[in-house]
Amino acid sequence: MKTTLKSYDLLGFKITPMTIEQIIDAMGDMVATGSTRVIASLNLHAIYCFFKDPRFRELHLRDHTLVRIDGMPIIMTGRLAGLPVTRKHRTVWLDWFPLVLENAARNGWRVYYMGSKRDAYEKGMARFREMHPTLQIEGRDGFFDARPGSAENAAVVESINAFQPNLLVVGMGMGRQEHWILDNIDTLNANCIITVGALIEYFAGTVPTPPRWTGRMGLEWAYRFCTNPRRFTFRYLIEPWLMVWLIAVYNVRRGLGLKHPE
């Protein structure tokens, strides 16, 4: 790749420090070379998934996966570990995805978006097309039989490959989207596969968008918790403590040369 990016091991998980500009440059390199690579996301919930879910971990640790940082705690931990990470390497999709669409429209990149429920998907896609009328974008919602070998999944892969997207954006929820990518990556005809979680719901207006200053202060999680405590209580109040335990166990076993229990 023309854009030289280096990944690091941080407490057992993988990070690839990238600024927004570097993410977009990396996408351009993937399109230019015709390669197929994944840009995955890492926040605290993703770290929890990384240590709990062997298949999630497998996708993140693949050589051709870049793992962007989406959380100030990861930046601070990386700095304490002496890694070359700064605040500018925290790249939140609410900030960088509009720039991705802008570059896609300008450069003629084809975008396939898959994710969310039908209503949010349709509203979000309408918003994307309104933002960039010349954008070549197609897609579908994220609710289908995604099991490997199912007729519906085969039809989805066929639809994606027929469109020949340069960017395949997968927003099926953390865990499910990583499994789907890992199951299908060898048969997908796309240059850059991106995980985005519930991104389209914010553009659709079906969930409230955190004020951007909360991101700069590292407080987006607090805004999301306050606006939807039922959904986020476990993720923000309980998961972090479990995550600390999982990281400790993983690294103790790694230090002893023991296989991580699957």
**Between residues 96 and 4, which one has the greater pLDDT?**
96
CB 26, CB 5: distance < 8 Å: yes
Rounded to the nearest integer, the mean pLDDT of the chain is 91
Residue 152, pLDDT above cutoff 70 = yes
Across 186-192, average pLDDT: 96
Residue 9 has what pLDDT?
A: 96
Q: How confident is the model at residue 114 (pLDDT cuts 50, 70, 90)?
A: very high
Residue 2 has what pLDDT?
A: 60
Residue 225 has what pLDDT?
A: 65
Residue 206 has what pLDDT?
A: 87
Across 241-249, average pLDDT: 84
Across 190-206, average pLDDT: 94
CB 119, CB 201: distance < 8 Å: no
| Ramachandran class of 246: left when φ > 0, alpha when ψ lies in -120 to 50, beta otherwise | alpha
Residue 71 has what pLDDT?
A: 87
**Between residues 10 and 2, which one has the greater pLDDT?**
10
Q: How confident is the model at residue 260 (pLDDT cuts 50, 70, 90)?
A: low
Residue 237 has what pLDDT?
A: 79
Residue 129, pLDDT above cutoff 90 = yes
CA nearest to 28, candidates 89, 129, 112, 99:
99
Residue 59 has what pLDDT?
A: 98
Within a 10 A sphere around the Cβ of 75, how many other Cβ atoms? 21
CB 55, CB 182: distance < 8 Å: yes
Q: What percent of the chain stands above pLDDT 70?
A: 92
| Ramachandran class of 194: left when φ > 0, alpha when ψ lies in -120 to 50, beta otherwise | beta
Q: What percent of the chain stands above pLDDT 90?
A: 73
Across 181-203, average pLDDT: 95
